[in-house]
Amino acid sequence: MTASCFAVLIWNHACWHRSNLLSKFCLSSEQLINFHKLFLTFSKNASAHDRQVLSSVFNITHQDSLRKYLGCPVFQGRPNTATFLDLANKTASKLQPWKMKHISKAGRVALIPANIQSMLVHTMQCFQLPSATHKQIDRISRNFFWQKSNDSNGLPMVSWDKICRPKKSGGLRLRKMEAAIVHLLVN
């Protein structure tokens, strides 16, 4: 028997053992694994053949990334702006249903922390967002605050830095994303 043939036998035995292990887990815990929600991910070093064999042994599809877990993106390596692009898009879509011409500035001041910043708290507790993502979400908040209608952007009358100051300092107590992260880390 050649070394490569022996390696294939060991590999097949290991795959069978893992598959059998999943079955034993289901029996002993009296829980079932939902294979429709389950998928495998592999490192970049795994060959296409190995991916196909493991997928067929476990009867589980494979994907390039884990995408999300508990609402947070799962990634390998350092997070970049593209990792959190979905978060910024979701933030922008939260504000679209509101009719701009019917909401006062005071109403917008209440909506920004309630909708945008509260939605991001969980992700910000898990990850340090890239500064480009902070700026993008700040831009979404700023545009929502100054926008006159769904069609036209309003002209800013006061700088966003002044609006984000505390009320004692003449601001509206909105937080920039970086300040919100510092607040989360301190508390």
DSSP 164: T
- Beta partners for residue 67, in sequence order: 74
Query: For the ranges 29-38, 104-113, 127-136, which has the lowest average pLDDT?
Result: 29-38
Q: Are strands 67-69 and 39-40 parallel, antiparallel or unpaired?
A: unpaired
> Chain-wide mean pLDDT for the chain?
76
In terms of residues, how long is the chain?
187
Residue 57 burial by CB count (10 A; 0-12/13-18/19+): exposed, middle or buried? middle
Residue 175 has pLDDT above 80, yes or no: yes
Q: Which amino acid is located at 25 in the chain? A: F
Residue 147 phi, psi (nearest 5): -65, 135
pLDDT above 60: residue 4: no
Confidence band, pLDDT 50/70/90 cuts, at residue 18: low
Q: Which of 137, 135, 84, 146 lies closest to 115, judged by CA? A: 137
Q: What is the pLDDT of residues 111-128, one digit of tens each?
A: 888 877 777 777 777 777
Q: Where are the beta strands (DSSP E) in the chain?
A: 39-40, 61-62, 67-69, 72-74
Does pLDDT of 1 surpass 50? no
Residues whose CB falls within 8 Å of the CB of residue 105, separated by 6 or more in sequence, listed in order = 145
Each domain of the chain, given as residue ranges in start order, spans 3-64, 76-186
Please state which of the ranges 14-28, 30-44, 159-173 shows the lowest mean pLDDT.
14-28
Q: How many C-beta neighbours within 10 Å does residue 182 have?
A: 12
pLDDT digits (tens, 9 = 90+) for 28-81: 888 887 777 777 777 778 888 888 887 777 777 777 766 776 667 776 677 778
